[in-house]
Chain A
Amino acid sequence: MSLTRLFKEPLFLFLLLGAGLFALEVVRDGQEQRTIIVDRAALLSHIENQTGRYDRTAAESRLQAMTPAARNQLINDYIREEALHREALARGFVQEDYVIRRRLVQKVEFLAEAAAREIEAPLESDLLAYFEANKSRYSQPPRLTFTHVYLRDAESGEAALLLAALNRESVPATEAGQYGDRFAYFLNYVDRDQAFVASHFGDDMASRLFAADVGDVWVGPFESPHGAHLVRVMKKTAATTPTFTTIRQSVEIEYMAEQQRLARDRYLAELVSAYEVDSRLSR
C-alpha cells in the first residue's frame, strides 16, 4: 500500500482522527460557531484537499498563480463546503451516517486498548489454573503413521489378490513405492491427524484407517474416491494432552490474550453501564 498516497487522503485523515491522534475539537467548533473564517491557511488546505496533493509549497504556488476570478471561485467553494459540512453536523447527519458512526465507535473502543496494555504479568498459579480450565484445547488428536499401495482402478478381486501377495511375500513397508500406481498425494504419511488423512483419502477411509490395528501385515483394501488402497499401519499415537511445563509458553500467550480481551470488555462494559437501558421490546 502506498503510504505517501494514504497520507494524502481526506478519509485517511479522518481515520487518524478516529484513531485518537487528534481531539474532535475541530468538529465541535464547527457545530458551535456561525462564523466561517477564510484565511490563507484555510485556502491552502482546501487546495490540498481538492487536488489530493498535500504539498504546501505546491499549494502556495497554485494559489499565487490564480486569477482573481479563480481565487474567488476557490473562496466560494471553500465557504460552501464549510457551511454545508456544518449544516450536516447541525442536522445530526453524523449520527445517521453509519460509516461515521462506526468510526466514532471505533475511536471509543480504542480507548480500551490502553486498559488492555495494563495487564500485569501473570503468576505461575494463574497460568496453571488457566491450563487446567482449558485442557481440552491443548490436546493433540490421535495420529497415524502408515504407507500404502494404491490401485487406481482395480477390477473386483484384484486388490485382494495383491494384498495376499504382499503378505505372502512379506513385502516391507519401505518397498510400498514399488507396487501399484502413483498416488496423487503422498506415499507415506507420518504422524498425521484424521483431518489431514481425510483430506487426501476421504472421510470414510480415514475413519476406517484410524480404527485399523497397527501391525506387520498389509490390510485392506480400503476404498477412497481415488481407488483402492492396501495399507500398512506402522504407528498409532493416541490423543495426548501435553503437560503444563511443555506448553507453558502457549498457555501464557492464550492467557494474556484472554486477559486483554477481558480488560477491554470490562472497560467498555463500564462505559455502557453509565447508560440506562429502556427496553421496550415485547416479550
Chain B
Amino acid sequence: MGKGLFKRHLMLAGAGLLMTSTMALAESAPYSKPTQSQYPKNLYWGDTHLHTRNSADAYSLGNMNLTPADAFRFARGAQLIAHNGMPVQLRRPLDFLVVSDHSEYLGGYYRHGVKDPLVTDNEVGRQWQTFVDSGDVVSLMGAFTGSMANPEEHPPFPYETRLRIWQDVATTADEHNIPGQFTAFSGYEWTSMIDGNNLHRVVIYRDGADKVGQIPPFSGQDSLDPRELWKALARYEAKTGGEVMAIAHNGNLSNGMMFPDKSVDGNPIDLAYAELRSRWEPVYEVTQVKGDGEAHPTLSPDDEFADFENWDWDNIGRTAEKEDWMLQHEYARGALKLGLMFEEKLGVNPFKFGLIGSTDGHNSFATMEEDNFFGKFPESEPGATRLENAMAGDQLWKNWNIVASGYAAVWARENTREAIFEAMQRREVYATTGSRIQVRFFGGWEYNKDDVNRPGYLDAAYAGGVPMGGDLTAAPGKDAPRFILTAAKDPDGANLDRVQIIKGWQAADGSLKEKVYDVAWSGDRQPDRKTGKLPPVGSTVDVESATFTNTIGATDLAVVWTDPGFDPEQRAFYYARVIEIPRPRWSTYDAAYFGLELPEGINLTVQDRAYTSPIWYTP
C-alpha cells in the first residue's frame, strides 16, 4: 500500500465520522443496514439437471438403487457408496439441486421391477409383463423407444398412475427443502427427440408439492413440439397459481434444432414462438457432462479458447453426422447472435437467455470436480476401464470424452426456492465447467475506472447499471457503455489466467459479428503486437503425478472496461468468460490413480472456466 492510498484511508475516516453523527439521529432507518440493500450478495451453487433411478436410462444402465432422496442427501454433503463400490462425497456441498428425471415412464422401470401395482396393474404394465413372460425383449424395448420418437404408438401410463408417481417426486423434494440451508426443487426432463435430435428441456418449479402435484409432468408422449411444452407450463401456472420455467438442454446434440430457424412443423419461427420461448426459457444449459456448448472453433476461428471439450460429431440418436451449418443453431454464442437477428425481424428475441451449467449425471451424483468426478452413468464411475469403454455399454461415444462439467452459480439474497428461481428469471446467474469461480459482471454508463478498486463497489455497480442478465437500452449521447468485471478464483481451486468480455452484435448491413476481448490477466504478459493475442499463461501441471501448483495466475482480477467499438445504432450483447490456469483433466487423475496409459488424442490438462449471462444493448 503506497502512502497516497494510506492518506485516503485517513481522509475517508474523517468522512466516516461525519456520517456517523448523521446516522445517530436517523433512527427511522433500520438498525441492520444490510436489510435495506436490495441487491443479492450471496452466491449459491447447484445443479439443475440430475437423474436418479427414476429415469429409464439411468436405471437400465445400472443405477437401480439411488433415489431422488439419495441425490438430495448427496448434494447436501452425505457420503454414499457409488455403483463401483467406492465411497463418494462432494468436497463442498451444493446449495441447491433439481432432480430432473425423464418424464416418459417416470419411475416406471424401477416400479415395474419391484412389481409396484401402480405400474403393473394397468395396460402398459400388463403389456410389459407379457413381454417379460415371453422373453420378447425387442417389443419391450420398442414400447419404450417409441415414447421418445413415435409417442402415438406408445401410450403413457394412465393419468392416475402418472399423477401419483409425480406426487411422490414432488413430496420428496419438499421433504429435502430446508429454506436458508438447502433448496430442493421439483423438476423433470421433457425428452423430445425428433429424427435423433436432442430437444430436451429441464422443467423447474418454484412451488411445493401442493401445487406441483396437481398436474403430472409434460412428456414426449404428450408432444414432441417445444411450443406445446411451453403452453403446458402456462396451463400449470393458470391452474395452480404457481411458477415454472424450462431450461433447454445443451444444444450440441440437436443437429441444428435447438436454436432453429424453423419450428418442428417446418414453418419459420414467428413472433408467437419468440414470445413463448423468451417467456419460458430465461436460462440455457451451456455446459454439461456431454460437452461444452459455449463456442465452437468453426464458428469462432479467432477465439483460441473456443475449442474446448466440444462434442460435434453427430446427434444424440447418432442418426446423422454433424454439418457446419448446424453449429450456430447449437452453440450459445451463435444462438445469442441469431437472437439479435430475430429480434430485429420479429420484434422479440427468442434466444435471450442467461447461462448456467449443470451435470446431466445419471448416477445420482452431482460430482463435477476434475479430481472427484464420478462420471455420467455407473459405467463411467472411476475405474481402470472408463478411459477405454464407451457410453451405454460400449455403443456410444468413448467415455474419455465426457466432461467434468458443470455447475449453476446464482446470485441471490437467500437460499430459498423463491430467491433462486427469481435469480434465474432475471438471469443473474452464470455457468462454470465445474469450478466455483466467483464472478460479478455489470454494464452501465456511470462507472469510473477506479470503481473496482473500492471495497464497496457493489453499491455503485448496482446503482449505476445492470448486473449480468440485464438490459441496457438508451445510450446517452454516443458514449460507449462501460462494464465492471470482477472475478475471484475458486477458493479451493486453480488460479485465474485471464478474464475476457465477448461481444456479439448485428452490423449495419445485418450481418452478425463477434469479438473476444482480453480485459484483464495475470502477470506482466503483453498482447502480441501483430496478432493482439495475449500469450498463454503457461502450465504447472505434472501429468505423471496429476498435480499442479498455483504458482502462476492470479487469485482475482478486476477491471472497468469500455467497449472500443460501440455503435449506439447496433444491437449487441456482452458476456464475460473467466479462464483458469491449466490443471490436470479428470482423465489425467484417473491415469495417475489407476496407473493407466492415456489413450491417444486425449487432452492432458484443462482450463476450467466460467461464462456469465450476457448483458444486452438494444438501441
Q: Does B299 contact A (CB under 8 A)?
A: no
Alpha-carbon distance between A28 and B132 when the two chains are bound, in angstroms: 16
Instruction: Flag if B138 contacts A199 (CB, 8 Å).
Output: no
Instruction: Classify the interface of chain B: helix, strand, loop or mixed.
Output: helix
Contacts of B70 in A (CB 8 A): 257
The residue from A1, A5, A10, A22 contacting B132, defined by CB atoms under 8 A apart: A22
Instruction: Flag if B1 contacts A152 (CB, 8 Å).
Output: yes
Give the segment of A73-81, A127-135, A183-191, A275-283 that binds chain B: A183-191
Contacts of A10 in B (CB 8 A): 393, 395
CB distance from A185 to the nearest CB of B (A): 6
The residue from A16, A149, A172, A253 contacting B23, defined by CB atoms under 8 A apart: A172
Contacts of A180 in B (CB 8 A): 9, 455
Q: Does A226 contact B (CB under 8 A)?
A: yes
Instruction: Flag if B486 contacts A182 (CB, 8 Å).
Output: yes
Instruction: Type the 1/0 row for A95-124, where 1 means its CB is closer than 8 Å to any CB of B.
Output: 000000000001001100110010000000
Contacts of A162 in B (CB 8 A): 6, 9-10, 13
Alpha-carbon distance between A226 and B554 when the two chains are bound, in angstroms: 11
Instruction: Type the 1/0 row for B359-402, where 1 means its CB is closer than 8 Å to any CB of A.
Output: 01010000000000000110000000000000111111000000
- Please give me the residue from chain A that is nearest to B557 by CB atom: A184
Q: Does A9 contact B (CB under 8 A)?
A: yes
Contacts of B558 in A (CB 8 A): 182
Instruction: Type the 1/0 row for A155-178, where 1 means its CB is closer than 8 Å to any CB of B.
Output: 100100110011011111011111
Instruction: Flag if B135 contacts A1 (CB, 8 Å).
Output: no
Instruction: Flag if B61 contacts A6 (CB, 8 Å).
Output: yes
Alpha-carbon distance between A176 and B486 when the two chains are bound, in angstroms: 19
Alpha-carbon distance between A13 and B139 when the two chains are bound, in angstroms: 11
Instruction: Flag if B392 contacts A4 (CB, 8 Å).
Output: no
Interface size on B, residues (CB 8 A): 88
Within 8 A of B (CB), among A2-36: 2-16, 18-23, 25-26
Instruction: Flag if B141 contacts A11 (CB, 8 Å).
Output: no
Instruction: Flag if A1 contacts B316 (CB, 8 Å).
Output: yes
Give the segment of A48-56, A62-70, A86-94, A207-215 that binds chain B: A48-56
Q: A3-B148, A184-B556 are in contact. Are A150 and B455 (CB under 8 A)?
A: yes
Q: Does A250 contact B (CB under 8 A)?
A: yes
Contacts of B316 in A (CB 8 A): 1-2, 5
CB distance from B102 to the nearest CB of A (A): 7
Instruction: Flag if B193 contacts A3 (CB, 8 Å).
Output: yes
Instruction: Flag if A253 contacts B176 (CB, 8 Å).
Output: yes
Instruction: Flag if B109 contacts A19 (CB, 8 Å).
Output: yes
Instruction: Flag if A187 contacts B455 (CB, 8 Å).
Output: yes
- Please give me the residue from chain B that is nearest to A177 by CB atom: B456
Instruction: Flag if B13 contacts A113 (CB, 8 Å).
Output: no
Q: Does A82 contact B (CB under 8 A)?
A: no
Q: A12-B393, A113-B114 are in contact. Are A3 and B20 (CB under 8 A)?
A: no
Q: Does A204 contact B (CB under 8 A)?
A: no
Contacts of B114 in A (CB 8 A): 113-114, 117
The residue from A54, A175, A176 contacting B145, defined by CB atoms under 8 A apart: A54
- Please give me the residue from chain A that is nearest to B318 by CB atom: A5
Alpha-carbon distance between A185 and B114 when the two chains are bound, in angstroms: 49
Q: Does B59 contact A (CB under 8 A)?
A: yes
The residue from A5, A113, A250 contacting B392, defined by CB atoms under 8 A apart: A5
Q: Does A200 contact B (CB under 8 A)?
A: yes
Instruction: Flag if B392 contacts A11 (CB, 8 Å).
Output: yes
Contacts of A169 in B (CB 8 A): 13-14, 16-17, 20
Q: Does B142 contact A (CB under 8 A)?
A: yes
Instruction: Flag if B455 contacts A177 (CB, 8 Å).
Output: yes
Instruction: Flag if A3 contacts B56 (CB, 8 Å).
Output: yes
Contacts of B20 in A (CB 8 A): 169-172, 175
Contacts of A176 in B (CB 8 A): 455-456
Interface size on A, residues (CB 8 A): 77
Q: A13-B137, A15-B393, A170-B20 are in contact. Are A182 and B453 (CB under 8 A)?
A: yes
Alpha-carbon distance between A75 and B111 when the two chains are bound, in angstroms: 39
- Please give me the residue from chain B that is nearest to A112 by CB atom: B65
Instruction: Flag if B488 contacts A187 (CB, 8 Å).
Output: no
Instruction: Flag if B16 contacts A182 (CB, 8 Å).
Output: no
Contacts of A171 in B (CB 8 A): 13, 16-17, 20
CB distance from A257 to the nearest CB of B (A): 7
Contacts of A117 in B (CB 8 A): 114
Q: Does A139 contact B (CB under 8 A)?
A: no
Contacts of B17 in A (CB 8 A): 169-171
Contacts of B16 in A (CB 8 A): 166, 169, 171-172, 175, 178-179
Q: Does B597 contact A (CB under 8 A)?
A: no
Instruction: Flag if B149 contacts A4 (CB, 8 Å).
Output: yes
The residue from B15, B193, B376 contacting A178, defined by CB atoms under 8 A apart: B15
Alpha-carbon distance between A12 and B128 when the two chains are bound, in angstroms: 16
CB distance from A263 to the nearest CB of B (A): 13
Pairs A-B, 8 closest by C-beta atoms = A177-B456, A11-B393, A184-B556, A184-B488, A199-B491, A7-B141, A171-B16, A2-B316
By a beta-carbon cutoff of 8 Å, the part of chain A in contact with chain B is 1-16, 18-23, 25-26, 45, 48, 52, 54, 56, 106, 109-110, 113-114, 117, 149-155, 158, 161-162, 165-166, 168-172, 174-188, 190, 199-200, 225-226, 249-250, 252-253, 257
By a beta-carbon cutoff of 8 Å, the part of chain B in contact with chain A is 1, 6, 9-10, 12-17, 19-20, 23, 33-34, 41, 56-57, 59-62, 64-65, 69-70, 73, 92, 102, 104, 109-110, 112-115, 128, 132, 135, 137-138, 140-142, 144-145, 147-149, 175-176, 178, 191, 193, 196, 198, 253, 290, 316-318, 360, 362, 376-377, 391-396, 438, 452-459, 486, 488-489, 491-492, 555-556, 558
Apart from A1-B377, A3-B104, A56-B138, list 10 A-B contacts with CB within 8 A.
A1-B316, A3-B56, A3-B144, A3-B148, A13-B141, A26-B135, A106-B62, A174-B33, A175-B20, A184-B486
29 examples of A-B residue contacts, CB within 8 angstroms = A1-B362, A1-B391, A2-B396, A3-B57, A3-B144, A3-B148, A3-B193, A7-B141, A8-B395, A10-B393, A11-B394, A13-B137, A21-B109, A21-B128, A21-B132, A56-B142, A109-B65, A150-B455, A154-B1, A155-B1, A169-B17, A169-B20, A172-B23, A174-B33, A177-B456, A179-B9, A181-B455, A182-B452, A183-B455
